[in-house]
Structure 1
Amino acid sequence: MTKITDSHCHLDFPNFDETRPEVIQRALDAGVHRMVTICTKTANLPAVQQIAEANDPIFFAYGIHPMSVTDQPLVTAGHLIEQAAHPKMVGIGETGLDYHYTADSAEVQKTSLRVHIEAAQETGLPLIIHARAADDDMAAILTEGYRAKPYSCVMHCFSSSAELARAALDLGFYLSMSGIAAFPKSKDLREIFAAAPLDRILVETDSPYLAPPPYRGRENEPSYVVHTAKVGAETFGLSYADFAAATEANFDRLFSKAASWSPAKADAE
């Protein structure tokens, strides 16, 4: 079976409280052999860690979502760096800027983003970016941070402009395809992906949101990443197997901590 990774999902969300084991099993049955579940609030960290610890195929990332920065105290870079010692924490974020719903907190979002960039710089873990309606500020802050000290990064659920895509790619960052890229009306977005180097592409679900066709409008889950990847394969003119192999290599390169993890290694530690 062709293996693929869901690089961004939210398995701790209440949507999965009654079905989590079945959702994980369906993913494995579909060839989704790894999942990165994302913690977006400090209060949720213990639950997210427990999910990752209880399931070999699941890793986690931790950060404060830009839409949540005013709901709780800002995290420090030191706190994020300390948490990154967990053997299954493989990324910093998601963090970023969202001016679509929460433009009033723009300055706090920028401060939070810079804290997360510092943590990514110090830990070597990839930064996971949420960007919406904030392209200019996003490009400026990411570039400013990179010039100060290089770090790795993925633009999660990328659906922004070609200009932000180019700014990210010029820094060596990655773009992640979600179900949005598989929507019939997303031709312009698929063209942005098609213009990017294949070795900078990841796939994700962002479940429980943004289910791709033929499940659009339903609750998303990690097994559905296969459907987004099939559209990705068409976008790049590849077979599904070849596109999946490319995204696997990309994931391993970016999320090297996940790539090198094994149950035996974890037991030894």
Structure 2
Amino acid sequence: MNTGTGRDGNGDIPAVVADGLTVRHRRTTALDAVDLDFARGVHGLLGPNGAGKTSLIRVLATVSAPSGGRVELLGREVGPGADHRDRAAVRRRLGYLPQEFGYYPGFTVREFVSYVAWLKEMDAAAVPAAVVRAVDRVGLGDLIDARVKTLSGGMVRRVGIAQAIVNDPELLLLDEPTAGLDPEQRVAFRALLRELGSTGTVIVSTHLVEDVAAACTGVTLIEAGRIAYRGTAQELSELGGAGSAGARPEDGSPIERGYTAALRAHRAAVAGR
């Protein structure tokens, strides 16, 4: 099993390094001294509701500060006490899609994505072409001048993806990006993920295990704020392969069964300590 430490198989230095990362919300510990790193490629972040996935994504997006530990993004420290200039420099180089993102409903798609490009301090001369390209990549080119408030939920989600990739980010963070997308759109999105992961680091938090199987090279499973599993999508599938004990087609695909097996193994290990 790949631990994800050091350089990846391509020899890349990780875009994300977290040592002892801890996040607390009042009396709840969302992340408990987590050690992680992510280099170039597409990485799936899996786990039950409340496992700590969104808390991790928010810290990596510099939206929230960790309670403790060290966080380095794109070679710059962004954890507690970090220089605000380092944090600002990282924000210009990353893309982020939260579970729910706000927008001005009167904006057109072009205006909204352009506004986000401005927030990221992109070169003004490059913005118009970058906006068109980002919107085309999510399949909304024909609706670029439509008002966001007139779009369906799935289309709005695709606008969210467009704003996240408008600056060709080196680090892309997506929280439940396929929510509201139909099967055809999900297939197109997976292809886009693979394209983006060929040159940058993409982290996708999702409940849809099949999206991970189709698009992600690495998988990180979080349970109750701790790392339950790290490996490749293929390795996770092998945990739930056809030869696994009691495996039945109605129990789901190999990667779904592998997800369940990995969770159960982690819980058994925790209970046995």
Superposition TM-score, scaled by structure 1 size: 0.37
- Higher RCO, 1 or 2 (CA under 8 Å, sep at least 6)? 2
Higher strand fraction (1 or 2): 2
Max Rg structure: 2
Give the TM-score, by structure 2 length.
Answer: 0.36
